[in-house]
Structure 1
């Protein structure tokens, strides 16, 4: 049996000659928890010839109609392709025993953190051997693995067999705790993409600095449609704002997409509180890096102070997604703090439901933390979406969050693990609606500029084209 696929030799539009044909390798595609990857890949498909390969079977639960349509244009491996994959691995071992032995040793002889990670890399090794042949047949020019773990293993193996260059991307908790082969992968990759400035620095300084000189910063693109009313275009952000409490001037730099000067939003002299109850929102995977337990403790403090509020804590996953038992802990903590009447936990939310959910709330909270293991978020996409939908954001100063939640300008930032500081920031916004509106206005401008999907997809496509051209020229020399 072979993998399910559609004919991707016929692309939806004609591309200019000389553009690299990119193979994008993912574990699953599409996946409802990774809308930013979906938007990125679909954006690249409009600019370059791109073929998508999914190492595992289809996982379309909670996927939107658009995602389900895209799944029909994906080469999906999984159990359906197991016999074809194993046959190709056996063939390659018979034809090239020394090369295959070296690649297998390089891939598998590591101190893996757990059997699950080792199993993922074993499957990725086998899939990479099989994909090498498929890439040759499809005329692939370069390989892109948006994650540096199993997908990068498959890309590295396939690239080693075919001589094709591969690129990868590292972010957030990929860097700490890191897989034992990450340094070698960064060394072997001809291009490494970072999606925020903090992680770019971390990648360049990782291990022995193998990635220095080849890390490109390209921010993610917004994954939700713009607000129907007064959607903010990047070019409009330089105009003077008339909104009370909003900044008077803005400045953009085309050379650095992360740069944007925004004036600080002052607190009101005579603050007017938000309408009660104040509707708080937090959403994301129930993972230890999200700090949702700290948020519940902050809500306990707010309740003790008499603030009339509700919190929608949307998300889940837990043990099913390999994230531990945080959901059980959050349910226990909500009961312990007497917050059951104020805190609703509706579970996992489809991406289609997010716009409505964002519009129905007043303040967004992202109390991210660095776990004891070193795990951390980069810039949670939920924060970007909240800013884009005009919600004032309260977050922590973890990793890359200060790049978007700029204290006193686009939101309020507090130290991690500090429930009292988090409660104080939420209360400040709840009791000063003009301050909240000014921060939300700035945040919306920043999100529209910094995470413009068309601009960022253009930039990523240019990065691929230019780096591939340089690689090809170096091969000729």
Structure 2
């Protein structure tokens, strides 16, 4: 795509990030639809794991400096002056001064980096620091910005109402990933959400072929995947596994991921005497995740709302499991009931309840359950609502409305 074609800047806190496959899928879908994308990352990646899909991304990546020394700050201001931005910085100095030093300087550096690239719009994922930087850069450059609100940037106790309200009001538009989030934000900010839209995270479905669930064997193979943190709920899955074993269910539970709760979960496995039945696999590549899903009879996403208010918006791996035909159990947290519809596309249980989790897993391991019907229904919902190409077209139409109005 020629730079003569107007492009879209994706402003991200860190790129690439192993856990944010939905962003890569979205960029690939927009590029496939003809959009010219450039990526601006506020931090260099600290993740040694990379998805093969990254090699397909055509967008160039620019890393935005965050000066540590005074001389670097001075050089940033000189470059902004050379780009003709001094007057705009002066006009918006009050906004810059109200931000943190890092955000203000990165906004100036981003504004400078955007010059001469024929970029007409900025889009950001997560309504946190990266959106602050894009908002300030928008003041300086006049390039409109939009953002996708997910979960931690909405529900965490650190989120400030005045900050989120300001972003909703000043963005060209904002999107969020579930009807639950949409209703929540409209209730919380009734006067600031007239340009808030629903655009779900999507999958490249061509990379997630469906297969019917295999007949159950003597051992129920259970998979769970995610960071080992409170909101993922694995601390409730372990006692559920113990309950199933006490009831005579033979099971093999494998949990993939790494995180702060790894030691606590290992201790629980020992305490509950689950060592022969439960394995913590640690971090896995995308191919290993696909293999784990392919081998599973049941996938469990036991999500909860954390003590700090943090919650999952929509676990991407849950969508992947449903897309590929693995019968799923999950919990009624945020937008999950929009995809896991109890008795239709999976089994939905109360969060934080090991007994309910055990009952849900037992249901999917029962010969009386029509696992094939559940899986077919789940795939149909994923195809209808979570196809990344459809979601990317929604994003494109929202940014095009700005261009036609300009």
TM-score (norm 2): 0.89
Distance 1:194 1:91 in 2: 35
Equivalent pair of 2:205/2:383 in contact (CA under 8 Å): no
SS in 2 for 1:383: helix
Q: How does 1:70-149 map to 2 (within 5 A)?
A: 70=57, 73-78=60-65, 86-89=74-77, 95-96=86-87, 98-99=90-91, 101-108=93-100, 122-149=101-128
- The aligned residue for residue 218 of structure 2 is 276
- The aligned residue for residue 300 of structure 1 is 242
* From 3, 23, 32, the counterpart of 2:9: 23
Greater alpha carbon shift after TM alignment, 439-448 vs 381-390: 439-448
Distance 2:61 2:182 in 1: 30
Greater alpha carbon shift after TM alignment, 335-344 vs 39-48: 39-48
Q: Deviations over 1:155-190 (max 9, x none)?
A: 011101112211011111211225332222122112
Equivalent pair of 1:290/1:367 in contact (CA under 8 Å): yes
Is residue 463 from structure 1 mapped to residue 398 from structure 2 by the alignment? yes
Equivalent pair of 1:274/1:433 in contact (CA under 8 Å): no
Distance 1:155 1:404 in 2: 32
- The aligned residue for residue 52 of structure 1 is 39
Equivalent pair of 1:286/1:327 in contact (CA under 8 Å): yes
* From 243, 254, 279, the counterpart of 1:312: 254
Is residue 65 from structure 1 mapped to residue 52 from structure 2 by the alignment? yes
Greater alpha carbon shift after TM alignment, 81-90 vs 210-219: 81-90
Is residue 182 from structure 1 mapped to residue 168 from structure 2 by the alignment? no
Is residue 35 from structure 1 mapped to residue 21 from structure 2 by the alignment? yes
SS in 2 for 1:395: strand
- Cα distance change, pair 210–327 in 1 and its aligned pair in 2 (3 A): farther
Equivalent pair of 2:235/2:265 in contact (CA under 8 Å): yes
- The aligned residue for residue 326 of structure 1 is 261
- The aligned residue for residue 257 of structure 1 is none
Distance 1:38 1:354 in 2: 17
Q: Unaligned regions of 5+ residues in structure 2, if any?
A: none
SS in 2 for 1:420: helix
Distance 1:431 1:203 in 2: 39
Distance 1:85 1:357 in 2: 48
SS in 1 for 2:392: helix
Equivalent pair of 2:363/2:369 in contact (CA under 8 Å): no
- The aligned residue for residue 410 of structure 1 is 345
Equivalent pairs, count: 397
* From 370, 377, 381, the counterpart of 1:442: 377
RMSD, aligned α-carbons: 2.7
Q: Unaligned regions of 5+ residues in structure 1, if any?
A: 1-8, 109-121, 231-242, 245-271, 319-324, 473-477
- The aligned residue for residue 394 of structure 1 is 329
Distance 2:25 2:302 in 1: 26
Distance 1:312 1:168 in 2: 35
SS in 1 for 2:133: helix
* From 328, 348, 354, the counterpart of 1:419: 354
